[in-house]
Amino acid sequence: MTYGVSDHYQLRGRRILLGITAGVAAYKAAELARLLLRQGAQVRVVMTPSAHQFIGAMTLQAITGEAVRDSIFDAEHEAAMGHIELARWAELILVAPASADFLAKLHAGTADTLLHTLCLASQAPLAVAPAMNEKMWDNPATSSNIQALRRRGVRILGPGVGEQACGDVGPGRMLEPLQLLQAAADIFGTGRFAGRRAVLTAGPTREPLDAVRFVGNRSSGKMGYAIAQALLREGADVTLISGPVALPAPPGVRLVEVETAQQMHAATLQAVQVADLFVACAAVADYRPAQVAQQKIKKTRDTLSIELVKNPDILRDVAALPQRPFCVGFAAETHDLEQYAEAKRRDKGVEMIAANQVGEREGFEADDNALLVLWEGGHAQLPRQPKAILAEQLVSLIAERIDA
């Protein structure tokens, strides 16, 4: 497929600092630089010293037409504090590949390389494309580093799943250059939500019953994740607050992972303080066990009674804030769809409700869905179709209502 400069107009004139760390995937950085330049971006490359073992600086200099930087002790550039100038120059820092070592040091806030120093000194968005062996990616230390970086707003792009240079197969492959190109374009999106901040909840919640069991539901998170991707494509700055799902986060979102309704409630109220839009797509448990057993409950009786207490109402509490965002709720119903959805919209005091029928092979866990969208004085019926397409149509409706 051939891509012209009009395909990712968001990148025209943008100043992108491309960071390269030590890894076999470093060879892909040359193609990524070429694609970014083809879209009209300005690209400067900064390598870690070890990255030279995998790709030559001369190759990248020939592609970008800019000198490749790799040392903070470069007398030619540092006479006038060149690393600070470079940090201010960048509108986006994109590190691809990002090794496990680089991510660990980034989490710790070290500045022993020029690239780490720039990540600390720049106020530009920071995105990293991890690349490492699958066992390194699954290591608890790496997982902890990734979670901490996400909480700080670092965009984690990937990794992909597939065969690796060592012969292992699994998560850890760097995303392909075309995928990273799209992610960069999404970060600079200039669509209908450009300049707007969106907070979105997705997936189920799990309410612990004992050390091994929980009360949950069948939500897969597919609809919420599709909406997050659609908002990204329209230029929104997206924070995705997700319950436990088996889905990769869309490249470019700020992911906050939670498990219980109370955790989701706290994370949401914090995130919406600066939001323009809130979409409550998560299937939040209405109730939780009043008591959580510290050990596994043994099967010693024929019956077991569990007392449940009501969980906080996330959508209602956001809608009641003095300075609230535009609120979109979801209603999953087994019958009387429009009646219950409209009652929920009025009761919660929100601008829009997207209602869907749930049941056997409908709504939860499916790859397609249909929505009835209601607002004051109007409605729209979105027919059954893949959730990715449905999400784009819903986001279009939300944009119309916000602008109205």
pLDDT tens for each residue of 323-343: 999 999 998 888 888 888 999
- Tell me the C-alpha distance between 282 and 62, whole Å: 48
| Per-residue model confidence as pLDDT tens digits over 105-134 | 999 999 999 999 999 998 888 999 999 988
pLDDT at residue 278 above 90? yes
| Token code pair at residue 212 | 């091994």
Question: Do the domains spanning 9-187 and 197-403 agree at the CATH topology level?
Answer: yes
Q: Which residues, including other chains, have CB under 8 Å from residue 305's CB and lie 6 or more apart? A: none
Name the average pLDDT for the chain.
88
CB burial class (10 A; 0-12, 13-18, 19+) of residue 330? Answer: buried
User: Taking the domains of the chain in order of start, what are their residue ranges?
Assistant: 9-187, 197-403
Q: Tell how strand 207-208 and strand 155-156 pair up.
A: unpaired
Residue 131 one-letter amino acid: A
Q: Which residue has the higher pLDDT, 77 or 368?
A: 368
Q: Given pLDDT bands bounded at 50, 70 and 90, which one contains residue 360?
A: low
In the CATH scheme, what is the code of domain 197-403?
3.40.50.10300
| Token code pair at residue 279 | 């979409």
| Per-residue model confidence as pLDDT tens digits over 73-83 | 765 655 445 67
Q: Tell how strand 368-375 and strand 352-357 pair up.
A: antiparallel
Return the DSSP state at 359: B
Of 369, 379, 384, the residue nearest 400 (C-alpha): 379
Helix (H, G, I), strand (E, B) or coil at 237: strand
| Token code pair at residue 130 | 């991890």
Q: Is the separation of the CB atoms in 179 and 130 below 8 Å?
A: no
Which residues does the annotation mark as catalytic?
A: 166
Alpha helices, DSSP H, located in 10-157: 27-38, 57-64, 75-78, 82-89, 100-108, 114-121, 134-138, 140-151
Q: Is the separation of the CB atoms in 308 and 327 below 8 Å?
A: no
In the CATH scheme, what is the code of domain 9-187?
3.40.50.1950
> What's the whole-number mean pLDDT along residues 83-89?
85
pLDDT at residue 102 above 90? yes
